[in-house]
Amino acid sequence: MEHEESKLFAVIKTGGKQYSVAAGDTITVMTLAGNPGDRVTFDRVLVLSQGGEPALGTPFVDGASVGGEIVGQTRGPKAIAFKKRRRKNSKRKRGHRQDLTLVRITGFLTGGAGPSIETAASE
């Protein structure tokens, strides 16, 4: 994902996956506890870029975190696991839908300071 030099973005890690996020983005992550409207903080920030040179973590950037707001709890598309053993009259069909959480990124916090940017959509 390409980002402009002046754009503020971060790479966060949650649910075993990495996400490149900017303020105002809505991302779909593995289930997080909470209700719509609740605030969440992602403190596992791998990269934080503020305009120019990105700050790379080893493995995480010290004192950096990304704030977000839970938009809703949803489920992913149905995945079908079908197994058939030929000539044995044996088959099994199982479906699965993963629980997901929609999160809107509201701002970035560095060095324990307050949010450096807030979107107009958040209250």
Domain membership of residue 102 (yes or no) is yes
Tell me, what's the pLDDT at 58?
84
> Model confidence at 112, in pLDDT bands (50, 70, 90)?
low
What is the spatial distance between Cα 73 and Cα 33, in angstroms, rounded to a whole number? Answer: 9
Domain membership of residue 104 (yes or no) is yes
Question: What are 85-102's pLDDT values in tens digits?
Answer: 999 999 999 999 999 999
Domain membership of residue 47 (yes or no) is yes
Domain membership of residue 118 (yes or no) is no
Tell me, what's the pLDDT at 49?
85
Is 28 strand, coil or helix?
strand
Question: What are 19-31's pLDDT values in tens digits?
Answer: 999 989 999 999 9
Domain membership of residue 21 (yes or no) is yes
Tell me, what's the pLDDT at 76?
95
Domain membership of residue 114 (yes or no) is no
